[in-house]
Amino acid sequence: MDEQLRLWAINIDLFRQCFAAPPPLAETLREVTASLSTRGKTQRLPGLLSKLGPITRRPLDVPLIPLSEPTLGDGEAMMTSHYIESIRRKACWVLARGWLDKLATATITLDLPTSDLEELEFDLVRVGIPTRLSIRHLWVNTLDIPLRPTNDMTIGYTNAAVVPGYIETWTTALPEMEDKTRALATELLGFLTDHWGGYSHDPLQAQDDPTTPEDETPEVDDESPQAFADQGPLGLIAWWTSR
């Protein structure tokens, strides 16, 4: 798999709910699962070997399911927080990515080889960006979901209240950065600014903020799966895939 950074603007609790999905959300997740799952392809041995079924190690007509492709069973196991065997984790993360793509307000994928990541980290330190606002801190918080990461990935989240700090400090530092790292930082900043640029206070406390009119509180239709995506502040889920 290519070395990439994927970001999703999404309510973090919404993604956690996927692993104990209530009926409206489960309906949406099953639709995504069906679109991504493999039914398996029957493969028969050629020639005379096809007539030697009883002495082969497996039935000849059993569907062959690639380890990297999710199944409907994987989806049901994930939605009910059942244990996922290590051999199925890669496929389940393919499915989890599909769920994120469906439920997120927005997403972006950036090519980010390890060398480029390290160069960006070094440049951010050089221009005075604090460690708590480094790129690796985008995924510093554990998602606390039953599905464990595979060895070639790192995933976590950043709270909505932290993102404005990234926007402010990185934007100020851009003129001092090297050309290559500035281009990457600018692309990241564009995504962050589009979805968190208006945040000037802790959005987690918005319900107690007297400046927030009551009539602006969204009404949630429990029968609509998409209504789940409209609840609560946007967090940032970051997934970096390495080799």
pLDDT at 241 over 50: yes
pLDDT value for 156: 97
pLDDT at 173 over 90: yes
pLDDT at 118 over 60: yes
pTM for this prediction: 0.79
With CA atoms as reference, report the closest residue to 238 among 138, 117, 121: 138
The ranges assigned to domains in the chain are 4-39+68-214+221-241
Answer for the pair 40, 237: CB distance below 8 angstroms, yes or no.
no
Span 120-136, pLDDT tens digits: 999 999 999 999 999 99
pLDDT at 15 over 50: yes
